[in-house]
Every structure is written in C-alpha cells, then in structure tokens.
Amino acid sequence: MKIRDCYDKIAKINLDIFKLVIEKQSFKDVIERIRKNFNIPLNGFEDLKIVEQWWYKLAVISENDKIKFSLNNFYKEINDILIDFKLTDNFRNNILHYIIYNQISAPSYNAAIYPGGKNISIVFYGRPTKCEWQELKRQVELFLNLSSKKKYRFLKGQNYPFGDKVLKPKRNIDRDLKIIRLSKKKGEKILDISTRKYIGNYNDKSIEAEVWESESVKESMNNEKIIRKVRERIKKK
C-alpha cells in the first residue's frame, strides 16, 4: 500500500468515528453550550477576519480561569469532549475546528514522530495500522541515520552515535577483552620464576595458553586466528 493510501485509510476510519459522535444529541448539546458561552455563532464562524478578532480577545485573557470567556476554559472544554466522547488526543484540533467553523475533519494518523529536543519520540494516539507501523519504522530509521551524521541543525542536539545500525549481543566479549588486555604484553620478556631467567618473549602462544587450554594442533591454529581477528577489529575501530 502506498503511503498516501495508508494515511487516507486512517483518515477515513477516524472521520467515521467523528461523524458518529457528532450525531449524538449529547454532543450537539455540548457544542451548542460552548458556542453560546464563547460568543461563537450557532453554526460557527464564516468570516476568517472575525475569527481572528475573536481569537485575539480569547487569548488576551487566556490564564483567567474565573472568566468563562478565556482560552484556558476553552481548551478545558475540548479536553472534556475528548474524555466524555471517547476520542483520542489527536482529535483535539479537529474538535476545535468543528466548534469554530462547524466543519468536520479527522486526523490521518494514529501515531506521530517528534524529533525535537534530545530524543526522537513517538506519541501513540491509538493502535497504528499495519502500513502505518511500516512507515513509522522507516521514518525512525531515517531520523536515526541522519542524527548520527551530525549534518542537520534540527537534529544536532540528539545523540544517536550508532544511527540505524542494528546492534547484536557480542558472543565472546569477555574472552575478546582478555585477548586485548594480554596483547598489550606482546613482546615483553618472560621471566621463569624458578630459575629467575628470561625464557623468551610474550607472544600469541602465550596469550593462547592463558585464554584456552588447547587439546590439539588444529584447535591451537584456530585460536591463533581468533587472536589475530580480535586485534584487527580493535585496530579498525
């Protein structure tokens, strides 16, 4: 399914939900009361300039909860509608739009990605559809990849050094770390404690003796390969 078709499908599902809510008499009564209390025409505004003037007056007294005609109380009414009529939070702007303009619309998403701040966040409003899950995964991988490259200003504060790379547990991390530590001794002289004489230099055979207890020549050759590979990986990093 194409991305556009995916979001069109979600919008249709949410629009159907909203249409059913709008038909409820209890919802109609709430909308009528809100419009009356906030000086909105019975069937909503039609003139955009008048809406701008109305919104400015509402915003001026935004923090005064004691006055009915305030932005805080207007948003509280919308919050109550979401809860009372079991609508998810992504319907918030659609309800606001319906109250003001009497126009029906619906969200075309069940989840949204927010790459702001120091983290990439996903906000869920409902269960995403199958195609939406796929698109969310694609977008997250894209943001992770871009943020790891440190090229984009809007992602600069984020810390995702591994980007979209899939990390896996390291099977022999303790063994490999021991090899790395012992490799630092390579070339040092080995002192025989009993004779107090130097008997050679520390080499890969010495490392093998401390890491494994080899039982055959074949195993010993394989162990030496492992030692060299571990050191090569460290050099590349």
Look up residue 199 and give its DSSP letter: E
Backbone angles phi, psi at 49, to 5 degrees: -65, -40
- Measured CA to CA in angstroms, residue 168 lies from 54, 64, 72, 155 at distances of 57, 54, 49, 25
Per-residue pLDDT 10s for the chain (237 aa) are: 788 899 999 999 999 999 999 999 999 999 999 999 999 999 999 999 999 999 988 888 655 556 778 888 999 999 999 999 999 999 999 999 999 999 999 999 999 988 766 778 899 999 999 999 999 999 888 888 887 776 666 666 777 777 777 778 888 888 888 888 888 888 888 777 777 777 788 888 888 888 886 555 556 778 878 888 888 877 666
> How would DSSP label each residue in 141-155?
HHHHHHHHHT--GGG
β-strand pairing of 111-114 with 189-192: unpaired
Taking the CA atoms of residue 78, residue 27, residue 101 and residue 17 in that order, the dihedral angle to the nearest 10 degrees is 90
CB neighbour class for 179 (10 Å; exposed up to 12, middle 13-18, buried from 19): buried
Among 76, 59, 111, 73, which residue's Cα sits nearest to residue 90? 111
Amino acid (1-letter code) at residue 199: I
pTM comes to 0.69
Q: Are 223 and 204 in contact (CB under 8 A)?
A: no
Q: Are 9 and 129 in contact (CB under 8 A)?
A: yes
User: For 165, how many CA atoms within 13 A lie in the half-sphere containing its CB?
Assistant: 8
